[in-house]
Amino acid sequence: MKVAVVGATGMVGEVMRRVLVERNFPVTEFIPVASERSVGKEIEFNGKKYTIVGLQTAVEMKPDIAIFSAGGSTSLDWAPKFAEVGTVVIDNSSAWRMDPTKKLVVPEINAKELTKEDKIIANPNCSTIQLVLALSSLHEKYKMKRVVISTYQSVSGTGVKAVQQLENEIKGIEGEMAYPYPIGRNALPHCDVFEENGYTKEEMKLAREPQKIFNDRTFSVTATAVRIPTAGGHSEAVNVEFENDFDLNEVRQLLSQTPGVVVQDNTAANEYPMPIFANGKDEVFVGRLRRDETQPNTLNMWIVADNLRKGAATNAVQIAEYLVENHLV
């Protein structure tokens, strides 16, 4: 299995390399790909050194799978070139997510839709992945009508420059700013760029992507996305209105039986999900389960996951695993 990681030197690319090793993905030849300024440098994968190559060289090497984490414009330009030579591209950018000809995949929910014809597969937004995984079994049982979500997102979701900004602020060092304001001791209601409707691009991803993943337009999602000074892990306060009523104990049971979900919901022992516990883990953690007492059939919940792992790298590798296990590559 010849595997390329495009954007191998980036924050998500680094985690992708780690996850491939941790999960014993059957890599027989590893191809690290990065921008021209990194070409020729060495990078480590599974205890060995590899020389970074450029995109054209990588295409010519015809990998079986190319996992992309190199930004939308790179994906738009290069994913089709890899696909043309028979490579299956799993893309972590927003470039292909809402393309009606491309699948948007969270393996636990809709990997079964994949076929050999799918040469470009979209990895959802990090905040979307943890949301839909936590809601999947509940939607199946009670049928969602409306979801109201507020996110509390780590600076690692922005990238290395943002992590450095936070570290500089903690140390009292002046440096390059990833955000228009300080992030330390602050909360920025501004994730990604603002669109004409007043929502940010991140908020609109949360509104649109769940419908595509569930292949269901009968429910709606409205979102407010906030950046907070945590180093890793996204948190979400979610209010979900169902068509049918639910029993809280049954909700807990359904969630605990959902693959990839861990229930942490014991307020008597101060047990609830937090980024500090989710950091470095692949599961989605759910807690603070309670009825919304202001209207019927409505649940409040708190969802936390490591945005670089299940929110990005791990989900992409799980897609690759499904392809291999089902002989689709």
Contacts of 37 (CB under 8 A, 6+ apart): none
Which residues are tagged catalytic? 126, 234
If you search the block for the tokens 């799993």, which residue do you land on?
90
Contact 63, 82 (CB under 8 A): yes
89 strand-pairing partners:
66, 120
Q: Which residues are CB-neighbours of 12 under 8 A, at least 6 positions away? A: 69, 92, 308, 312, 313
CA distance 329 to 323: 6
Q: In the sheet where 261-263 sits, what is the strand order?
A: 220-227, 144-153, 234-242, 298-305, 284-291, 261-263
As a whole number of angstroms, the distance between CA 247 and CA 198 comes to 37
> 203 and 194 in contact (C-beta within 8 Å)?
no
